[in-house]
Structure 1
């Protein structure tokens, strides 16, 4: 249990730091070449602008940290109940918020700090109440359903971003979280791991659900960082990657709390989700980290009116 918990904490640190570095890279790319920002008719970034962001050194380092977080998170998902591993990993929200103050120049409100404190306290309750993890096996039909649902999440999120633009920031964050939650479930039920069997591994639909969820979730999260609040998008991601996999772990995979502490586990889980939603709400209305737009030219005493946007 302790090794799994430390692994999940390390994954959380990697993810939180990576999110902020990706945001820094995304916004630096937008400032460096605003004329070629590449947005859709509704204001959302297209694949070209996302690719430009991905070529900055900050984004590359952030992506490396994300891969490290993925590996550590995968280990944690097989050593801990999903409601604990996913929620601890989701504490990267705290790392994201603190580093955003330092690296993005944000000022968090008192309500945001209180919400972050609620999340941290809830994680302590969850860690105290968590019991053993359940099984690592599920019917093959479940593996196929996981792949189908993951594909639907990624396709739906991509379409929503292109149609809604900046209004889809929180939705993109939520769907990326659902994708990462599906990734955690896939890692948990993946065949061919113990004992290692490459044929069983390659023939498992859950493996391809993991790949699709990782790549698609990364894309949706990148877009959410470009078009909306960093803390808001990340908090929405937290909700997506904790609630559904946590419920699946308890209802279908046999995850459990310590005897007599089920109420504490439920309380901790609800507080963690509520705290994340609160940060998402307050972050959504914080204009400090609004998406970068083309800077207006310095005003000069010219007789002509300023050009229309």
Structure 2
């Protein structure tokens, strides 16, 4: 349990630091493309502008950290109940805020510090209440369902995001969160890991669900960063990444709390999600979701909050 918690915390640190760098790269690209009219007819970033955002050095370094975080998060998902591992990883929102104080010289408000305190307290409550993780063994049909749902969410969601354009920040955030949540479930049920069996691994639909959900989630994550202030999109991402995987873990994978600790586990989970949402919400700018120009002051830390 302790090793799993430390692994999840390390994944959260990688994700939080990477998010700041990815946001810087995405917004730098968005400023250039806005000047060059690199937008769709609906006002959102086109495929070319999104690709250029990915090629900035800040985004590349942030993505490397994301891959490291993914590996650590995958280990945590195999060692902890999903409601605990996914919630700890989602606390990267708080880590991003704290890092922003040091790296960007931003002063957090009392409401933001209070929200951070709620998240930290909730994580302690969750860690205390969490029992051993379930087996993760599920029928192969469940793996096919996960692949089908991942393809539907990522492909259909991408089309809708393109149609919504500049209004798609919240929707893109929710879809990216669901993608990362599906990725966590896929890692948990993946065959051929323990014991290692390459044939079983390559023939498991869950492996391809991981690839689809991870790639689609990263793309939608980038689009949400380009559109502007994360605001409600960040809150939606947290909900998508934690609530559904946590429910799947309890209902289908056998995750459970310690005997007699069911209510503390539920309370810790709810408080952690609510606190993360509050961190994003209270840190959102009041002036709308516009991309600042070069003369504008540096963005608030929670404009940078992402997965």
TM-score normalized with structure 1 length: 0.89
Question: Corresponding residue for 2:203?
Answer: 203
Residue 279 of structure 2: aligned partner: 279
Aligned-pair CA distance for 1:168 = 1.4
Cα distance change of structure 1 residues 165 and 103 upon mapping to structure 2, 3 Å threshold: farther
- Structure-1 residue corresponding to 2:303: none
Q: Give how far 1:107 is off.
A: 5.5
The answer for the alignment partner of 1:299 in structure 2 is none
- Gap change, CA 1:163 and 1:105, over 3 Å in 2: farther
CA distance in structure 2 between the aligned counterparts of 1:236 and 1:251, rounded to whole angstroms: 22
Equivalent in the alignment of 1:254: 254
Would the aligned equivalents of 1:73 and 1:85 in 2 still touch at CA under 8 Å?
yes
Which residues of 2 match residues 1-309 of structure 1 at below 5 A? 1-32=1-32, 34-36=34-36, 38-101=38-101, 108-230=108-230, 232-284=232-284, 286-287=286-287, 290-292=289-291
Asked whether the equivalents of residues 186 and 207 of structure 1 are also in contact (C-alpha less than 8 Å), the reply is yes
Whether contact under 8 Å (1:236, 1:280) holds in the other structure is: no
Q: Distance in 1 between matches of 2:157 and 2:50?
A: 15
| Residue 174 of structure 1, CA deviation | 1.3
Closer, same or farther: CA 103–116 of 1 in aligned 2, 3 Å: same
1:176 and 1:219 map into 2 onto residues whose CA distance is 8
Which SS does the other structure have where 1:265 is aligned? helix
Shift of 1:110: 3.2
Q: Deviations over 1:23-77 (max 9, x none)?
A: 0111122334543351112221111111111111110000000000000000000
Can you give the 5+ residue segments of structure 1 that lack an aligned partner in the other structure? 297-309
Shift in Å, 1:231: 5.7
C-alpha distance in structure 2 between counterparts of 1:145 and 1:135, whole Å: 19
SS at match of 1:287: coil
Q: CA deviation at 1:279?
A: 3.1
CA distance in 2, matches of 1:251, 1:33: 45
> The residue matched to 1:133 in structure 2 has which SS?
coil
Offset of residue 254 of structure 1: 0.5
CA distance in 2, matches of 1:165, 1:101: 32
In the alignment, which residue of structure 1 is the partner of 2:298? none
From the superposition, tell whether residues 109 and 276 of structure 1 become closer, same or farther in structure 2 (CA, over 3 Å).
same
CA deviations on 1:151-199 (whole Å, 9 max, x unpaired) are 1211232123212223211221111111101000000000111111111
Q: Following the alignment from structure 1 to structure 2, what is the Cα–Cα distance between the partners of residues 286 and 131?
A: 42
RMSD across aligned positions (CA):
2.0
Q: Which runs of 5+ in 2 are unaligned?
A: 296-307
- Could you tell me how far apart the structure 2 residues matched to 1:46 and 1:112 are? 34
- Provide the C-alpha distance between the structure 1 equivalents of 2:90 and 2:73, rounded to a whole number of angstroms: 10
Q: Deviations over 1:100-129 (max 9, x none)?
A: 455567664433332222112111110111
CA distance in 2, matches of 1:216, 1:231: 21
Give TM-score, length-normalised by structure 2.
0.90
Checking the alignment, whether the CA contact within 8 Å between 1:30 and 1:53 is kept in structure 2 is yes
Question: CA separation in 1, counterparts of 2:217 and 2:292?
Answer: 25
Secondary structure in structure 1 of the residue aligned to 2:142:
helix
Q: C-alpha displacement at 1:137, in angstroms? A: 1.0
Aligned-partner SS, 2:137: coil
